[in-house]
A and B are shown apart, each in its own frame.
Chain A
Amino acid sequence: MESLLGPAFLTALFAGTLAAAVPLLLAGLGEQVSEKAGVLNIGIEGMMLLGAYTGFVAAWSTGSLWLGFLFGMLGGLAVALPMLILCVWLGLNQIVIGIALTLGVEGLTALLHHVQFSRSYPRLPRVETLPIPGLSEIPVIGPALFDRHPLVYLAVLCVPLLAWVFRRSVVGLNLQAAGDKPAALDAAGVSVTATRAGAVLFTGAMAGLGGAYLSTIGAGIFVPFMTGGAGFIAIVLAMLARGRPLWVLLAALLFGACLSLTTALQVGGVRVPTDIVQMLPFAAVMLLLVAFGRRAALPAALGHPYVRGQR
């Protein structure tokens, strides 16, 4: 038995942290864009779940992981599209529609899964990693952080990319205006609807990709309800990060650490009931909200449909 805090324990902890953080990171970054533009995307849980399903089915039937990711994104987009039509174009209640889409996808994927896989329960082969030369040979953190699937590196690269978009690009400014003062954006001649529509679609693709990561790289199998609230955690990450992608990454890693603690503790020889460990990320969210919630700033027009000429 390995001693607690030995190299194997730490490697398992770090590796598990990163693995659990990636879907949260992808979905959280997506949600951040949506929230910035003033759309509270409660349906993100459904986007992740459909992405997990379509991603798994595509990866399993074609044998290509990257096609799985593509179809995961398409799955997320398929849920984002009704969200866009109903909430951005027609201005319907974002929360009711978000809950509706999540419930609908939960039912739909559970039914489809039952019809297709309930007898076979197919599993994907273990994914191949891309070790980064040099870095991956560092003891303990090398194999944990620098010997992963390329998608993991890409997800982390999204953080500086989005930070740049938010801070330095016109798109970023437009997004922020759409969330803070949509009328000003409209007056400047930029379509609020188009800006928000783009944001919602981006969220759908990112959430779908996060879901596909969960089912293909993470679990290697699709199970009904497998996202288990990850989408809702992503919403909280985006809220706490106050528009800064780096904070999404840090918070995602924190939750990843909570989630991976079970596996790591088991490697270290300690048995903990899974129910207690499942509570950790949600308890962490509540603690963070109690501690920093007062400063969890949200865009002024979040959750409100934009109607031209109406204050």
Chain B
Amino acid sequence: MSGEAQQGAQPDAAERLTSPARVPSGGGDLARRLAQALLPIVLALVVGALLLALLGRDPLAFYGDIVRRGLLSPLGLQESITRSAPLLLLGAGLIVAFRSGLWNLGVDGQFLLAAVFAAAMAPPLAAALPVWLALLLTLAAAFAIGALWSALPALLKAGYGINEIVTTLMMSFLGVSLANVLVKLPFNDPATTVPQTATLAAADRLPRLFGTTVNLGIVIALVAILAVHWLMTRTAFGLKLRVVGANPRAAVHAGLPVARLTLAAFGLSAGLAGLAGGVEILGVWGNMRADWNPGYGLLVIPLVFLARFHGVAVIGFVFFFAVLSIGGETAARRADLPNYFNLFLVGLILVFMALTEWLGQRWQQRRET
């Protein structure tokens, strides 16, 4: 099944899990797919509980805090929804890349650079222009900056066939450092003692919805992820990208402009990551402090895999993770732990997801023979 692409000089490592050909989309046994999606989470939570117990913490109290704070308290729930916005936009970007067979592992750098430019642009623009126009321009610029930061890996991949895993990771490290340099030197607000950019007035940020603390970002994010899902599954352009992703060699033989499609997929993917940075700054923070790096990028990857690159399913998983992340901050503080438990949990979810995937395939093979 995956033999043809192996002959190519470039390792098509994305193929096994990322190829849409291998991901059952539409129809199929819903119960089994649901089980395959939820089982890894449950297993990861169990192992996480064991670690908490080993560290002398009460796992039930820890998980209880997460649910109470992240889901059940009104303020926490609003924060979870707000947190979902950048995660969804990153997820949308990753769906584009993964479905096109590209490993865009540089989303953190794209996110952060776009965020710093958004933070620097928004206050002067808001002073000179109508607020809605300033916000729109800033978001467009964030998209462009994100896309721009992926240009070099995209060109190297499209032109020379250089593995994008390494180049996007390198650009991500570069972007994170560059963002810090920008905050500390050219964009630094001299009025503050800590290095940070000038703060956008609360009235000039993304408008809040229906008197809650949730801002417009979540609407932008939901529209983006649904649009990306529609683009990748229902349009000719999306089909072309998926063909390139499934089998680049076949795509060349079918006469598709593989290089141009690769550039387009990279640009869209990184642009959405940049938009995530813009939304987070304009909606939540209003400025950017030095050394701020939430590291959302690598955390969203497992969610996108769990959702099998399905845009609607990503919404569910992202919300779950947002609750985990908002509630986890409180739970970790109460348990006197650093807020890194989520990292451990996400790593476990990925491992168990790969395992359940494997078991599911074995199970199906056995049933077929």
Which A residues have a C-beta under 8 Å from some C-beta of B?
A: 40, 42, 82, 86, 90-97, 99-108, 110-112, 114-115, 118, 224, 229, 232, 235-236, 239, 273, 275-276, 278-279, 282-283, 285-286, 289-290, 293-294, 296-298, 300-305, 310-311
User: What CA separation (Å) do A142 and B168 show in the bound complex?
Assistant: 39
User: What CA separation (Å) do A95 and B173 show in the bound complex?
Assistant: 18
In contact, B51 and A303 (Cβ under 8 angstroms)? no
Answer yes or no: B190 CB below 8 A from chain A CBs: no
Interface 1/0s, chain B 277-311, versus A by CB < 8 A? 00000000000000000000011011001000000
Which of A93, A283, A290, A301 sits near B16, CB closer than 8 Å?
A93
CB distance from B276 to the nearest CB of A (A): 19
In contact, B358 and A90 (Cβ under 8 angstroms)? yes
CB distance from B27 to the nearest CB of A (A): 24
In contact, B340 and A224 (Cβ under 8 angstroms)? yes
Answer yes or no: B191 CB below 8 A from chain A CBs: no
For B170, list chain A residues within 8 Å (CB).
232, 236, 282, 285-286, 289
In contact, B341 and A107 (Cβ under 8 angstroms)? yes
For A108, list chain B residues within 8 Å (CB).
51, 344
In contact, A82 and B167 (Cβ under 8 angstroms)? no
Answer yes or no: B227 CB below 8 A from chain A CBs: no
Answer yes or no: B347 CB below 8 A from chain A CBs: yes
User: What CA separation (Å) do A236 and B17 show in the bound complex?
Assistant: 23
Which B residues have a C-beta under 8 Å from some C-beta of A?
A: 1-3, 6-7, 9-14, 16-17, 51, 55-56, 103, 105, 152, 156, 160, 162-163, 165-167, 169-171, 173-174, 177-178, 180-181, 184-185, 298-299, 301-302, 305, 337-338, 340-351, 353-355, 357-358
**Across chains A and B, which 7 residue pairs bring their CB atoms closest together, nearest first?**
A104-B347, A107-B344, A107-B343, A100-B350, A303-B13, A110-B340, A311-B3
Given A92-B16, A93-B354, A107-B343, 18 further pairs, Cβ under 8 A: A86-B351, A91-B358, A100-B349, A103-B350, A104-B343, A107-B340, A107-B344, A112-B55, A232-B173, A236-B170, A273-B181, A273-B184, A273-B185, A289-B167, A293-B156, A298-B9, A302-B13, A304-B2
For A289, list chain B residues within 8 Å (CB).
156, 162, 166-167, 170
Give the secondary structure class of B's interface: helix
CB distance from A91 to the nearest CB of B (A): 8
Subset of 13 A-B contacts with CB under 8 Å: A82-B351, A86-B354, A92-B16, A96-B354, A99-B105, A106-B347, A107-B342, A235-B166, A275-B178, A279-B174, A279-B178, A303-B13, A311-B6
CB distance from A279 to the nearest CB of B (A): 4
In contact, B162 and A104 (Cβ under 8 angstroms)? no
Give the secondary structure class of A's interface: helix
Which of B12, B181, B340 sits near A106, CB closer than 8 Å?
B340
Known: A106-B340, A111-B344. A97 touches B350 (CB 8 A): yes
Which of A90, A92, A97, A304 sits near B11, CB closer than 8 Å?
A304
CB distance from A103 to the nearest CB of B (A): 4
CB distance from A114 to the nearest CB of B (A): 5
CB distance from A301 to the nearest CB of B (A): 6
User: What CA separation (Å) do A101 and B55 show in the bound complex?
Assistant: 20
CB distance from A39 to the nearest CB of B (A): 11
- Of chain A, the residue at the smallest CB distance from B178 is A279
For A224, list chain B residues within 8 Å (CB).
338, 340
CB distance from B366 to the nearest CB of A (A): 15
User: What CA separation (Å) do A103 and B350 show in the bound complex?
Assistant: 10
- Of chain A, the residue at the smallest CB distance from B16 is A93
